[in-house]
Amino acid sequence: MTEYFIHPTAIVETNKIGKNTKIWHFAHVRENAKIGENCIIGKDVYIDKNVRIGNNCKIQNFATIYDGVKIDDDVFIGPHVCFTNDSYPRAIGEWKIVKTIVKKGASIGANSTVICGITIGENSMIGAGSVVTKDVPNNALVYGNPAVIKGYVCRCGAKLENNKCLKCNIAYKTKKVKK
């Protein structure tokens, strides 16, 4: 008996899947991908070869995660998020895979595009529809095209006021946001 669930319409070409993970309708997980425990992989998600996904991640419907992406634990990837993996893609010629890292606890909003070669910091939050072209610091709230820092968030997701979470009462050290 397997310790994970794969919907009958999903195509899964790896056996590196953690227990209690669920892979839903029409998802495609390529060879040598690794998915941790307690993850939810939504409808029509594409996970390319060699992708690494940590534990307790939620990958929403229609997200595309290409070779070169590493996602740490407790990450949320919203619907239709697209990661890229080559800085100068062409239909002919060689691809040069450029690595992207999403750190623990980060959240990426729906319809965002993440350009390859960056790191998205711990507990950061990317607003829906953003185009992320640069590294995102820990706990940063970024959005827009291109995404820029608009504030900071607590690990619980609440926006910080004067570097403090009013919900959790946790204080943070952050850089001043340029207006």
Domain of 3, CATH number, reads 2.160.10.10
Our count of domains for the chain comes to 1
pLDDT of residue 178: 67
Query: The dihedral of CA 156, 104, 54, 144: what is its sign?
Result: positive
Given this model, what pLDDT does residue 86 score? 96
Name residue, tokens 């790896």. 14
Largest CA distance in the chain: 56
The pLDDT value recorded for residue 54 is: 98
What is the chain's length? 179
pLDDT at residue number 2: 74
Q: What is the pTM of this model?
A: 0.95
Residue ranges of the chain whose pLDDT lies below 70: 1, 178-179
